[in-house]
Amino acid sequence: MKAIIIDDERLARQELKNLLLAHKEIEVIAECSDAIQAKEKINELKPDVIFCDIQMPGKTGLELVEEISGVVDVVFITAHDEHAIKAFELNAFDYLLKPIQPLRLAETIKKLSIKETSTKTDNNSPLTKNDMVFIKDGEKCWFVKLSEIRLFESEGNYVRVYFETFRPLILRSLNSLESRLNEKEFFRASRKHIINLNYIASVESWFNGGLNVKLKDGKEVEISRRQAVKLKDMMSL
- 8-34 tens-digit pLDDT: 999 999 999 999 999 999 999 999 999
For residue 222, give every residue at least 6 positions away whose Cβ sits within 8 Å of its Cβ, in sequence order, or none: 189, 190, 206, 210, 211, 212, 213
pTM over 0.75: no
pLDDT band at residue 70 using 50, 70 and 90 as cut-offs: low
Cα distance from N-terminal residue to C-terminal residue, the chain: 47
pLDDT tens, residue by residue, 163-210? 999 999 988 888 888 888 988 899 999 889 999 999 999 999 887 788
When pLDDT is averaged across residues 113-129 and rounded to a whole number, the result is 69
**How many CB atoms are located within 10 Å of the residue 136 CB?**
16
Nearest CA-CA partner of 144 in 120, 161, 160, 122: 161
Is 132-235 the same fold as 2-123? no
- The rounded distance, in Å, linking the Cα atoms of 45 and 237 is 45
Domain 132-235's class? mainly beta
When pLDDT is averaged across residues 127-155 and rounded to a whole number, the result is 88
Longest dimension (CA), the chain: 68
Helices 10-20 & 102-123, crossing angle to 10 degrees?
70
Are 210 and 223 spatial neighbours (Cβ–Cβ below 8 Å)?
A: yes
**How many CB atoms are located within 10 Å of the residue 111 CB?**
14
CATH 1.10.40.50 matches 2-123 = no
Q: Would the pLDDT of 124 be above 90? A: no
Q: What percent of the chain has pLDDT over 90?
A: 57
pLDDT band at residue 150 using 50, 70 and 90 as cut-offs: very high
Are 222 and 212 spatial neighbours (Cβ–Cβ below 8 Å)?
A: yes
Structure confidence at residue 236 (pLDDT): 74
Structure confidence at residue 134 (pLDDT): 83
Which runs of consecutive H residues, i.e. helices, occur in the chain?
10-20, 35-45, 61-67, 84-89, 102-123, 174-178, 225-235
Enumerate the domain spans of the chain: 2-123, 132-235
Q: Would the pLDDT of 121 be above 60? A: no
